[in-house]
Structure formats: structure tokens, C-alpha cells
Chain A
Amino acid sequence: MSVAYRTGKALRRTVVQAVPTIFGIIVLCFLLLQLMPGDVADVLAAESGSATKETLAAIRGRAGLDDPILTQLGRYLWHVAQFDLGSSTRFGTPVSHLILERLPNTLVLMLTALGLALGLGIAAGSVMAIYAGRWPDRVLQVVVLFFYSTPGFWVGLMAIVLFSVQLGWLPSGGSMTIGTTPTGLGVLRDRVPYLVLPAFAMASFFIAVYARLTRAALLEVLRQDYIRTAVAKGLSPFVVQTRHALRNALIPVTTVAGMHLGNLLGGAVVVETVFSWPGMGRLALEAVTGRDFNVLLGVLLLSSMLVIVTNVAVDLLHAWIDPRTEAP
């Protein structure tokens, strides 16, 4: 099967599957949200410290909360079909604005974390596999097991204490120096220090996951016949390991990484809270506590689409890594 054929097939599959999946997600989430006690008017009134019946009624009227649930669902689906995510009752602005303002931040954080996790994870996993049973493997196994067993937010908090409070090397929160407008490389110089700690806190668990997967996959591949053949043919072990073995070991790692995107976004909720990172995870959390359902549905919808797209990308990546693999 050619890569082009696979690409076409994958894209068709995406379109065919994405629409019902997204429809399902909207319906599922919409109904789940109806089960939550209290609504946006209750929360706004509570946060205001006082309210009148009329104010509450006005808020509910604006949000259309008095209509039957099916009417609300139908209206929402109708709007989504026209690429309209509705507007936030809490902020009185379109949901698309709220999300678009945060999307870049979230993508930067997630991609950095994912890159960090894959890079460090695969590197550590490779070292562990190559030195399997010897001391670098033993040491790394303990380190990896530690990260595998420790909550990411705890790693983040400890990192704040060490790197920003004690050492003063990195900022403790935020995504950029507010009030300045750097240009060109200055943007990078300004943003990167803010990115390091949250990305690491978010990545820590996944570094461990990928390191373990890489190690296991590599060990398995290294045992297989064609590797032995390659070594027998006189290729240097390093070439064999990188070119043949790692390439094949990457398949399980990337599959899992694709599946992890959703988890990563979930983890962003906590990490963004710890580091005051203005991303979608926090937006989602605030939408839950604020009962701002349009915003929450918008975030869920978008993150789901992100996961779907990533899975397709992973399929394509597999076609590139190993043309023999079949689409699942």
C-alpha cells in the first residue's frame, strides 16, 4: 500500500468517523452537564454575594435555560452545524473568542510537554534498553519509576519552590512578561523561561511512560531475527539500534502518544492552575465550576477534534515509519 493511498484512506476515515463522534460527544456531554446541580445564574449570584429573583431570571432568560432540554440541545447542535459555538453566559462574549485567545497558549504548552516527554522518554528508554541490566539501566529505571508514580502537580510545586523561590532562575507562573512587547527573537527569550516548569510538570509522568514503552519495545525488537541478521551482516550495533530497532519501537510509542493527547489536556487543568497558565484547561475548569456550559462544550468539542486529528496523524506517521503496518 502506498503512502498516498494510506493518506487518502485515513482522511476519508477521519471525515466519516469524526462527524458521528463529534455528534456523540456533544450529546453525551450536553446531557451530562444537565445533571450538574445549579446553573450559571446560581454561581454568578453566589459570587456576587447578593442577588434578586429578577436578576437570576434575566440571566436564565438570556442563556435560554428556561427552555426544555431537548430544545436547548437542538438549538446548540443547529448552531454548531453552522460553526457557531454560542456565547458565554458568564462573560457575555462569544465562546469562539474565549477559546481562540487561549488555544495558542495551550497548544504551545501541550506540544512542548509532548516533545519533552517523547524526546526525554525515548532517549531514556533507548539508553535503558541498550544498557539493559547494567547500571545506567538500573539508575534510570528508578528515576523513571519515580516520575511514573508521582503526581505531576506535586513535581510542579516542588519545582516552583526550588527553581523560582529558592534559586530565582525561572518565573513561578504566567506565560509571558506582562506589559512588555518584545519582537523577533525577544519573544522567544521572553516566553521560554515561563514554559520550562509547566511543560516539565506536565511531561513528567509521560516521560516515564514513553521511557518504559521505548525500553520494552526496543528490547523486544532487538531480540527479533532481522536485527540479529543485521548484526551478523556486520552492521555496527549503533546503526542497528538507531536505524532498525528504534524505528520499529517507535510504533507503540507514537500510538500511545496519540492516545495520550486527551490525557495531556486533562492534566493541563491542574498544571495550568499551579502555574497560572492562561490555557484551555483552566478555561474548562472554570467553566465547570461556573456552570458556563457553552464554554465547556466548546472546549470539549475542540479538544476532541484535536485528539481525532492527532490519531490520524499518528496513523500516517506509522505508514512512514513502517510501510508494512496495516491500518488498525
Chain B
Amino acid sequence: MGIIHDAGRNAPIGLPVTRRLALLGGSALALAPRGLRAEPRHGGTLTIALSSEPTALVAATTVVTPTLSVSGKVTEGLLRYDFDLNPQPELATEWSVSPDGLRYAFRLRPGVKWHDGRDFTSADVAFSLLLLKQVHPRGRSTFANLTEVLTPDPLTAELRLAKPAPYLIKALAGAETPILPKHIYEGTDPTSNPNNAAPIGTGPFVFKEWVRGSHVIYERNPNYWDSPKPYLDQLIIRFIPDAAARSAAFETGQVDLGYRTPVGLADVERLRRHPDLRFETKGNSYSFNVTKLEFNLDNEYFRHLKVRQAVAHAIDRELIARVAFFGNAEPCASPIAPGLREFHDPTPSPYPFDLAAAERLLDEAGLRRGANRTRFRVPLDFNPVLDEARRLCDILRATLGRIGIAVDIRAQDTGSFVKRVYTERDFAFTTNGLSNLFDPTVGVQRTYWSKNFIRGVPFSNCTHYANPEVDRLLEEAAVENDRARRAALFREFQRIVAVEVPDINIASPAFLTIHNKRVHDHSLTANGIEASLADAYVDA
């Protein structure tokens, strides 16, 4: 499932240096020279590699990954987040949430100007939030409970909600909820507004050019509100679709930075030995993913709990993490990624790797080995967006073969995959990736909630799982203001789905940011590279 997704903002501004060092984390190599460097250097060009081209440069009407990667450079958000998703100021300097969770008040940063010289005001905020509720692919659900935005003065915005939305305060990063210039969008069709391809914003970088199929160039915004930032003179985003070519570009120094493991997983170990390249895992906490195997519960075999349990017993998460992900993943039996520490349940699967147990369950289900020692034959689909999908399928095919389930892997491109799995439901089981986004209500609920069994909608409940108790837990968690109680609801939910196995959660990929050693301070927030990069600087 949606592999994809994030948004966000840059670093906690004004933290003491020691705290920033701690936040930086990452490799010891990166830390050592940092301690010696007092001041970030001004000037220079940073080149980022993306694997595909954005469909727009503003993440308002589209949230495809490459658009999220670039949007925040120009178009900022109200907040940014630290690695643990605690809100930090961006366009909003102060904020408060009423105890009933129905009123949010934001104090806006004074003196901020759009790139065309107009003042940024609360009218822009109100306009943006209400527009996003209409046109943003996730806006309809994120802002479902938003009824109105009051603007008592140009620097105050108050959100009124019909029901509590405890995830909302985490949804306000620039790439997820971009604050748009009202004077550009008002009265236009937001999907075809020219601003989407040549954006004006409040951010540290000013759009310069977009050469289709090749690159986007941004230049330093000299009037940025957080002076003396940004440090870079120029930011170049290159689109390099071939993984091997991206590797070569990193090695030859043609690109400096890439995130969400920008090279083939198979190539990571080799690149680790490159003297100029560094690896960073921070700055990916705005969208942890879980790679999973989803059953079609309407399938003649997988509708039986014992068959699903048997398949679960055949999943060797350690082996998969090591082989399919080349070690760049954490085994994970829960739909909520370990990265979302507040909610993740680390309990192992009730069905450990045990082929004998699997065979026993299949025998009990009445599926005995027949001709060619095969019990039954099923097709296995995979979401082609995932790098590890093919290798994962190869592993599943091999292990399931050993317990007598003959698997035919079915390849298809994204369009065909969506059509097959979500519209026609002509599948038996499929590997998929689910982005947790910034909160389980937004990122996880959708695949288990029975009311989200909607044909034709990608990343809905494609298993056709329906459990009233799970529905209740999810619905309560969605409006629960108390953090501890909310976490408890999600734990109970995880316990139930682990037993009932409508899907098998396998591993949470460890997204790597690869950068040239000359690049610094690029991953200071929850969604490091997707944030504004105002803090990033390069050595001469």
C-alpha cells in the first residue's frame, strides 16, 4: 500500500547545540567533524536525486512521492516535527489545543512574505485548510472533522472541529498540509493552477525552472524569514529513473543526496564502502512503512483461518529481512511500524516460523498433498512500486512450495495491480507496503476498518476483513484525546489482527538517506529531505 507518503519540516530552530548534536544521530563519522565545525557555510549547490518526476511541485492536489520530495522547499506548513513527531514552530509560532480536542489556535509568524512580495496572513491559512479538505487526496479524511477556520486577526487562525481528531496536530507539516497563497489560488481550478508547476511560497527556496524529464532548479530566497538561512545558493533536483544509474551518480559525485533508500537495496553494501558517501536513517519518521502479505478473505483457500495461520507459520521474518531487504529492514509482525513507538506492539507473531506446524494446519484444513506433492495452487501478486517486492515473492514462492502450496507469481504494472486487487478483487494474496503516515488512524486504520472496504480505491481494506470489535477499537482511537488510552486501544487492535491474520505483517524497511560527506544538516526533522532544507549546507 502506499508506500508513499510523507510531509514535513525542518529542524527544531534555536535548540542548544548539544541537543542538535544528539538529534543528528546517525553515523559517528558524521558527528565527529560536526563538532569541530562552528558555523554552517553559505553558498554552493546541492543536488538531490529522485527516482521519478513529480507530477506537480506543490503537494496540494497530488501527493505522489516525488511531489512530496520537492513541495516543502517553496511551500511551507504551519508546523514541523522532531524525530518523535513532536510539533515545532514553522509558519505558526505558538499553538494550543482545547481539552475537548475541538478547537485549535495558531499564532502565526509575523513578517513572513510570499515570494511575490505579498504578506502571509491567517487568510492564507484558512483558505488553504479548507481547500485541502476539498482537493487534497488525503485532505478529505484528515480534515473530515474540520468545520471552519476563524481568522480574528491577520496573525491568528482558529480551527473548529465537529469531532476530536487527535492525529490532526501531526498532519501540519509543509509537504502534508501546504499553506498556499490565497491570492494565487482563489477563484481558480486548483488542479490546473499554473502555480502547481511554478510555485510561489514562503519557503527558503525560490522556484527557478522545471525542465521536464530532467530536473528542477531552486534558488536561495534572500528574504527568507529565518535569516541567515537558507545556506545553499542553489538546489537542484534531478530525476534518475534507473537504480543502477542513480548508484553511479552517487559514486561519481553527480548527485549529493537521496532519501528513502535511493539506490537498489542490493547495492547498499557496496556503496557503504565508498569513501565519500554517508548513510543516515533519521528523518524518515513521518512515514514508516510496513511490508506485508495481504490475503483476499473471499478466496476459497484463504477464507479459512487455518490456511492463513499455516502461511503465517511459513514466514521467516529474519530471513526475509536479511535476504529480500539485504538487512535493511526490521522484522515486524504488527501493522503499526516499530518506528511509531507510542503505538507499536512488539509482541511477536503468535505463529512463529515452523514449517511442521504449517503442514499440520493445512492437513487439518483438509488440504492434503496431492499430485506432485502439491496441496493447492494460487497466484501471488505484488505491488510493483516496492523494490523488495520481487525478491519477497521469490522467497514466499520457495517457502510455500515447501509446505505444498504452489505459488505462481504474477507481475503487472501499477495500473494493472490496482485494477486487479482493488477494483476487480481478482487475486488470492498479494505483497504490499503500507505507509503508516504520521499516525495509525490515518495510515493503518484504512486497511482493517470494515467500512473502508471500498472497491476501486487503492489502499482501502482489500482483504475484506470485517470484525466489529476491531471497527469499534479503531473508531474510538480516532477520536480519543487521551494519549495513553488511545495507545491502549491500538494495542488491543494489534493483538486481535495478529491472531486473526487477515494479513501477515512482515517487516518495516529501514529507509536510508544517502549523502555525500560534503552535505550537512539535511535530516533534522521527522521528514528530513521532504522538509524545507533551510538548514542544509555543503562544504566547498
Contact = CB atoms under 8 A, between A and B. Distances in A.
A102 B213 contact: yes
A55 to B, nearest CB: 5
A179 B63 contact: no
Contacts of A286: 52-53, 241
A51 B214 contact: no
Contacts of A39: 415
Given A48-B4, A49-B3, A278 B137 contact: no
Interface residues of B, number: 67
A191 interface: no
Interface stretch (A18-26, A127-135, A169-177, A311-319): A169-177
Contacts of A43: 414-415, 418
A178 interface: yes
A98 interface: yes
A23 to B, nearest CB: 27
Contacts of A40: 415
Contacts of B43: none
Interface stretch (A1-9, A88-96, A107-115, A297-305): A88-96
A38 B252 contact: no
A42 B137 contact: no
A54 B135 CA distance: 9
Contacts of B248: 160, 164-165, 172-173
Contacts of A36: 415-416
B415 A48 contact: no
B62 interface: yes
Given A92-B56, A171-B252, A172-B254, A52 B457 contact: yes
Interface residues of A, number: 56
A224 to B, nearest CB: 48
Contacts of A149: none
Interface in A271-311: 273-276, 278-279, 282-283, 286, 288-291
A282 B252 contact: no
Contacts of A171: 252, 254
A37 B420 contact: yes
A48 B196 contact: no
B413 interface: yes
A84 interface: no
B217 A179 contact: yes
Contacts of A52: 137-138, 140-141, 457
Interface stretch (B92-100, B152-160, B232-240, B471-479): B232-240
B245 interface: yes
A37 B56 contact: no
A44 interface: yes
A178 B238 contact: yes
Contacts of B63: 48-50
B418 A276 contact: no
Contacts of B418: 38, 42-43, 45-46
Contact of B241 (A42, A98, A168, A273): A273
Contacts of B454: 53
B138 A50 contact: yes
A274 B138 contact: no
Nearest to B455: A53
Interface in B343-373: none
Nearest to B142: A50
Given A43-B414, A48-B62, A168-B252, A53 B45 contact: no
Given A38-B414, A276-B245, 10 more contacts: A38-B423, A49-B5, A50-B2, A52-B138, A52-B141, A98-B212, A168-B252, A179-B217, A278-B239, A289-B414
17 contacts: A37-B416, A38-B418, A38-B419, A42-B458, A46-B385, A46-B414, A46-B415, A46-B417, A49-B3, A50-B443, A52-B138, A56-B457, A58-B191, A172-B245, A173-B248, A174-B254, A276-B241
Report, nearest first, the 4 A-B pairs whose CB atoms are least far apart: A49-B2, A38-B415, A278-B213, A49-B4
Interface of A: 36-40, 42-56, 58, 62, 90-93, 97-98, 101-102, 105, 157, 160, 164-165, 168, 171-175, 178-179, 273-276, 278-279, 282-283, 286, 288-291
